Structure 1
Amino acid sequence: MENYEMPTVYLTFDDGPNQEMDEILDILKEKNIKATFFMIEPQIKNYSDVVKRLVNEGHFPALHSVTHDKSKLYEGDPLNVAIEMEQTRKTLHQVTGVDSRLTRAPYGSKPYMTDAFRNGLVQQGMKMWDWNVDTVDWKYHNSNPELILENAINGMKGLKDGNDPIVILMHVTKGTATVLPQLIAFIENEGYEFSAYQPDKHFSMNFWNDSRL
């Protein structure tokens, strides 16, 4: 009988960097876990030291637009998303020397990232990740952080019998940092391994099942 190999878990954090980043990085450092951070361009400039820190500590820096604004990204020119991601890429490269091509569309790729928008990313040589476990921490980080943990565990249990990698959506918030050690403990106890995104081991993880991304 073949040994069953557990899928790898990718912890991903959106909307940083901000004042909560150091606490999350401290937890990840203590646990020796690498994660992936989808960051907003003006905040990369404002928190350049913490961006340098996350790269130095082995995490992967990824792109999450300039404006994070639905009306600016998804209305009008279908190249808007690609243009914002390219600006974010350039700023990140200036700060860290890392040429990151991994993007995450604000609010997720469905329904906004139709063919024309996705074509723009492909033309820029970008990749795009969504997720398959949503903690809904954007909603509960202030009111009920324990629900973040519960949503993550239930989402993972729903994928228990699959072999696909597990990509967990979180945001850089105080509430998320509060429950992160418990989430890590659960994942470790279940026997999963953690990884940050690795460009040379890219796999498709988007709601459109677009294999180009």
Structure 2
Amino acid sequence: MLLTFLICCTGCSQDTSTTSQQTSKPSTTAITNHTSKLEQKPARETSKRVTTRKSQSRAHKSYAALSRLRHKYPQIFKNNGSSQSRKIALTFDDVPDAFTNKVLDTLKKYNVKATFFIVGYKAEAHPEIVRRMVREGHLVGNHSYNHPLLTKIPMAKFERQILRTDAILYRIVGYHPKFIRPPYGEINEQQVRWAGRQGYIIVNWNVDSQDWRGLSASKVSKNILSTTKPGSIILQHAGGNEGGALNGTLEALPYIIERLERQNYQFVTLTEMFHIPRNR
């Protein structure tokens, strides 16, 4: 699970603040003999190893910081429900857009309710999809206005990201959503404290489909089914399907639902999982 979350912290659509940096390509200067070509290879491999170690170190630090915040503010910051319940929550980020309707169609077919984390500017462009979510019994939450890395922006801009999206969603669905999911799962203590004072609850996840990597349906299914347990909050994406990157999510969804229901899991929204109202 730790490994899964570390990947999450480097993921979620882009996917995170700690996305592995691309190793610089070796110089294109002509290499005139076989010996000099061989001399290039160890340096490149060493560079890759150093880059990987740095990326892993950043991911560990991010995970540790978020874990400390959850333990310090358990009523404000959550990533799972009760382990004593068979309730689990499907959550979908980076919505809405045209692809979102395909996910909604599948959920409707199986009568499964989920939680969708809304990006403000996308809601402005597709308010009818947000209304459909609520009409069909799903929960909507706040995923910022334009998906920045919140820990890298000033506090005033962070507040505007949340409150602007809150106002957009209120105009569309008629309530102020209780839940925030920070883009890439990244948030700092000052932001957590502010969110708590405003009546929000921050929710990340403890099961990552890793669908943002453009995985096949079988790999998405494996990532979810192998790590889901009572109280799990499952991260998937239902927006941003450029180039068919999320086709694996859509294709895997029926199989995931059927398998987990056979294991007597109950799909719920986050309000049902935490027994709190949807409106802050």
Query: What SS class does the counterpart of residue 226 from structure 2 fall into?
Result: helix
Aligned equivalents of 2:213, 2:177: Cα separation in 1: 28
Partner SS for 1:168: strand
1:14 aligns with 2:66: no
Q: Distance in 2 between matches of 1:174 and 1:46?
A: 22
Question: Which is greater in Rg?
Answer: 2
Moved over 6 A (4+): none
Matched with 1:101 is 178
- Match among 204, 223, 236 for residue 170 of structure 1: 236
| Partner residue of 1:122 out of 196, 205, 209 | 196
Q: Write the mapping of 1:111-190 to structure 2, written as runs, cut at 5 A.
A: 113-141=187-215, 144-156=216-228, 159=229, 163=230, 165-172=231-238, 173-190=246-263
Amino acid paired to 2:237: H
Preserved CA contact (<8 Å) 2:208 2:234: yes
Give the conservation status (yes or no) of the 8 Å contact 2:117–2:143: yes
Q: Output the CA distance in 2 between the equivalents of 1:19 and 1:61.
A: 17
Q: Could you tell me whether the CA contact under 8 Å between 1:140 and 1:147 is conserved in 2?
A: no
Deviations 1:84-123 (A, max 9, x none): 11111110110111221200010013xxx22112112122
The runs of 5 or more residues in structure 2 that have no matched partner are 1-82, 239-245
Question: What is the aligned partner in structure 2 of residue 61 from structure 1?
Answer: 140
Deviation, 1:146, is: 1.7
The structure carrying a bigger helix percent of its residues is 2
Task: Provide, for residues 148-204 of structure 1, a one-character-per-residue CA deviation record: whole Å limited to 9, x for no partner.
Answer: 111001111xx3xxx5x11000001332111100100111011111111217714xx
Separation in structure 2 between the aligned mates of residue 188 and residue 75 of structure 1, nearest angstrom: 40
What amino acid sits opposite 1:195 in the alignment? V
Q: Which residue of 1 aligns with 2:31?
A: none
Q: CA deviation at 1:79?
A: 4.3
CA distance in 2, matches of 1:116, 1:6: 32
Greater Cα shift, 168-177 or 54-63: 168-177
Note the residue ranges of structure 1 that are not aligned, 5 or more in a row: 203-213
Change (3 A) 1:76 1:65: closer
Specify the code of the residue in structure 2 equivalent to 1:41: G
For the residue of structure 2 that corresponds to 1:198, the secondary structure is helix
Partners of 1:82 and 1:61 lie apart in 2 by 19
2:218 partner amino acid: E
Query: How much identity, in percent, do the aligned residues show?
Result: 28
Structure 1 position 35, deviation (Å)? 0.3
Residue 6 of structure 1 and its aligned partner are, at CA, apart by 4.4
Q: CA deviation at 1:5?
A: 6.2
1:87 partnered with 2:164: yes
Task: Letter of the 2:193 partner, please give it.
Answer: N
Tell whether 2:124 aligns with 1:45: yes
Q: Which amino acid aligns with 2:128?
A: D
Residues in 2 aligned to 1:197 and 1:40: alpha-carbon distance in whole angstroms: 18
Q: Give the number of equivalent residue pairs.
A: 187
2:174 maps to amino acid: G
Query: Displacement, 1:145?
Result: 2.8
